[in-house]
Amino acid sequence: MVAAPTDDLVVDGRIRIPAADLVERFTTSGGPGGQHANRSSTRVELSLDLTTCGGLNDVERRRLLDRLGSRVVVHAGEERSQSRNRALARRRLAAVVRNALVVRRNRRATRPTRASVDRRLSDKRRRSETKRSRRRPTDDG
């Protein structure tokens, strides 16, 4: 089922994914809950095809395709209500897209400080001494 036309997915202040690009499927959630869980289609699977999705510029689309692949799918089945699961799935999808769009800074390699090297080596010596003291005594001592 395709989402209602007025339900655009707001990722952040400037990115809005058209509802026509979202595909929703509803299934039974399974698990505990008895008759309700077995008979009601409350679990939501929300998917988005990034290759044809509107609302993204070329740079954003390329970044999302590199990080997430061509299709993003999220599931929500924790709630008993289909509408609450639908809202939860939409929040999850928005969060996945928002996190994938973050530009990560490159790490600049730095050398450890002299103090951190000294701490590491003294800890190693201390651990070594502790382990040596636990050994069985030798005959020549």
Q: Is 121 exposed, middle or buried (0-12, 13-18, 19+ CB in 10 A)?
A: exposed
| pLDDT at 5 (0 to 100) | 46
- Tell me the pTM: 0.69
Domains of the chain, first to last? 9-101 (3.30.160.20)
CA count, 13 A, side-chain hemisphere, 115: 0
The residues of the chain scoring below 50 in pLDDT are 5
pLDDT, tens only, 64-88: 999 999 999 999 988 888 899 999 9
